Amino acid sequence: MRNDAYEALLAHVRETAALESVAGRLGWDQETVMPRGSALQRAEEMAAMEGVLHARRTDERIAEWLDAVEPEGAVAKAQVARVARAHSRATRVPADLAQEIARVTSVSQGIWAEARAADDVAAFLPTLTEVIRLKREEGAALAQGGDPYDALVDDYEPGMTGADIAAMFGALRPRLVALRERVLGAAKQPAPLEGNFGSEAQLRLARDVAAAFGYDFSRGRIDIAVHPFSSGSGNDVRITTRVSESDPFNCLYSTIHEVGHAAYEQNVDPDYLLTPIGQGVSMGVHESQSRIFENQLGRSEAFTGWLYGEMRDRFGDFGIGSARGFFGAVNRVRPGYIRTEADEVHYNLHVMLRFDLERALMRGQLDVTDLETAWNDRFKADFGVAVDRPSHGVLQDVHWSVGLFGYFPTYTLGNVYAGCLHRALRADLPDLDARMAAGDPSPATEWLREKVQRHGALMAPREVIAQACGFEPSPEPLLDYLEAKFGGIYEV
């Protein structure tokens, strides 16, 4: 009977996972190829799908199966624990609220995109106000008397709280700010990349780089989106990128970043397909994969040396005369406006800004009408420059429009995890640079597949990282890496 209960439970959640994949594909379609005039209909479709999914997640039989089952072995125990957690959270959120969030955030995404294109904050604020109202309501339902923001963070990084995040940021900020001041004040400043780089040639190179980093095109594809993202799991994992003819690094490193996410999903043990553990365990661990692919590997001196040759072959002379100079251009430190284009020194400062603002929004300590001013004031204080237009400021990210409150801190947590993984990876692969210099990061990507990706959600987030590294995660490896790398580039 108990085994029958486990099989019935797994059959139910597999079917739910399949339907979630369908809903995810609707989201991918909306951000890539959906006609603009379809937005309101798509919102109704998404709300309908969420209604079906919520009913399945809160099905009374799940509690009965959970009471009856006695899982044996690590895999079964992990499956049951994930189901129990998801069921507990789903039953706290009323069905009509879940559907309304799906409906409003589907429409909000399009309104945000148009407002961003027009640099019109006022056009977005009424919708954002509604999204925040709904997410506050959801957070309160999940928290059951606790901190609503903590409850939302727990969706993306189980066990993490706002206080944990604030402590992590407190440990990072002093050394990051000190490094930034040394670098920006250095006598040696790398020259920037300049020129015109054709879109089609960029996309061809991006596809080649994606394949080199292990992206399986037989189970995925690359499309264009305003905000690059990865979507799906298992045997259908799609990514997007964007192209600027004056900035090929935007396309190339957005692609490598999203391949890190996609590789995680493609490399989970196939026996876990469409089960609760058949996906990345948390967004922090997910970001560790995308960030280590993009930065520690993709922006390393060895790999950029290979990339320099490829770009010269494909685009001709673009004014940088050496691989060392190209390495400096790839890693040039500037206090820019855009998080996704930020260098490694400034990136986490962008995340800290968003964390503080969204936490205040969720707690009712910041009104939506004051958000733009709060953003601009904080940006000037942290980066030393004034925001010149909303698309470079409060309108630049898609996350708040689709209700992803509590998501931003996982970017920095992912950087911290990536720093730990990189230290362990380098200890295990002392000859890695020789392969990277030939355009072959496979020893590193295979190490990550074996140590992290194949496990899916079998273990808790910190447990995955600690087991892979052989030590408990902390900010020090990331800070040590940044100081060594940029100290060398800038000779400070």
Q: CATH number, domain at 283?
A: 1.10.1370.30
> Is there a binding annotation on residue 286?
no
Domain containing 186 equals 162-490
Question: What is the pLDDT, as a whole number, of residue 340?
Answer: 87
Low-confidence ranges of the chain (pLDDT < 70): 1-2
Determine the 3-state secondary structure of 255 from DSSP: helix
Spatial CB neighbours of 112, under 8 Å, sequence gap ≥ 6:
124, 127, 128, 395, 398, 400, 401
Residue 277, domain member (yes or no):
yes
d(CA 53, CA 59): 10
DSSP per residue, 316-331? ---S--SHHHHHHHHT
Q: Which two tokens stand for residue 319?
A: 């004014």
Count of domains for the chain: 2
Whether residues 129 and 168 fall in one domain: no
Whether residues 167 and 207 fall in one domain: yes
**Residues 456-478: tens digit of each pLDDT:** 999 999 999 999 999 999 999 99
> Is there a binding annotation on residue 245?
no
What order of strands is seen across the sheet that includes strand 222-224?
A: 222-224, 236-241, 230-233
d(CA 190, CA 171): 29
d(CA 182, CA 185): 5
Residue 152, domain member (yes or no):
no
- Would you tell me the crossing angle of helices 121-143 and 371-383 to the nearest 10 degrees? 90
Which positions are annotated as active-site residues?
258
Residue at a domain's end among 146, 172, 206: 146
Question: What is the pLDDT, as a whole number, of residue 153?
Answer: 97
Whether residues 191 and 254 fall in one domain: yes
Residue at a domain's end among 101, 116, 146: 146
Distances from the Cα of 6 to the Cα of 74, 256, 277, 285, 435, angstroms: 14, 39, 15, 28, 46
Whether residues 218 and 340 fall in one domain: yes
Whether residues 170 and 141 fall in one domain: no
> Is there a binding annotation on residue 261?
yes
Q: How far apart are the first and last CA of the chain?
A: 67
Residue at a domain's end among 146, 170, 191: 146
Query: Residue 258 carries which side chain, given as an amino acid letter?
Result: E
SS (H, E, C) 57-103: HCCHHHHHHHHHCCCCCHHHHHHHHHHHHHHHHHHHCCHHHHHHHHH
Name the DSSP letter for residue 394: T
Question: What is the pLDDT, as a whole number, of residue 2?
Answer: 66
Residue 151, domain member (yes or no):
no
